[in-house]
Amino acid sequence: MRPCIGIGPVLVKWENRTEKNMDMKTIFRPKVWYIICGAMAMIGGIENMMNASDWAESAWGAENVNEQAEAMEVLFGTFMIGFGAMSMTAAFVLKGTAQGTFAVFNGGLMIAFFLFMFVMLNSTGYNMPGAPFLAPPFILLGCLAYSGFLHMTGDEATLEV
């Protein structure tokens, strides 16, 4: 029996191990980052839907809140739940290099989407939360994309998922 390193559900064959690459590939596994991003998106989406009137008030001011503003906050929460469900699906349905390739593009596209959305919302007078509130999604999506980059090519036989 060949020695293996087991971390969670992933086994990495010892003979294919390189110090830095193995450590980065162990830390940045697309499945793990999809689960983290998916859980955070679902929790955030549910919270956004439950507190839509508070979010609308903080974004537009108490005097400008109406049913349409609240409906848009509910819609955004619904979108986030959908992104979370898609992330969970990618975590448990996709495998190997397919999961890695999808993570690169999915993470990158979601970062681009949020950047575009923040620019467009600011141009309408929507009062966005501050940078400390907005940074975590970009960090998580960046980790997802990076994990995909590390796993989008290579010998799939070295990873057993």
* Separation CA 56–CA 15 (nearest Å): 56
Q: What is the pLDDT of residue 156?
A: 53
Q: Where are the domains of the chain?
A: 30-160
Q: What is the pLDDT of residue 155?
A: 58
Segments of the chain with pLDDT less than 50: 1-12, 14-15, 157-161
* Separation CA 69–CA 71 (nearest Å): 5
Q: What is the pLDDT of residue 20?
A: 55
- Asked if 15 and 158 count as a contact pair (C-beta separation under 8 A), the reply is no
Tokens read off for 79: 């979108």
Instruction: Read off the pTM.
Output: 0.77
* Separation CA 68–CA 72 (nearest Å): 6
Tokens read off for 32: 């793990």
- Asked if 79 and 104 count as a contact pair (C-beta separation under 8 A), the reply is no
Q: What is the pLDDT of residue 101?
A: 94
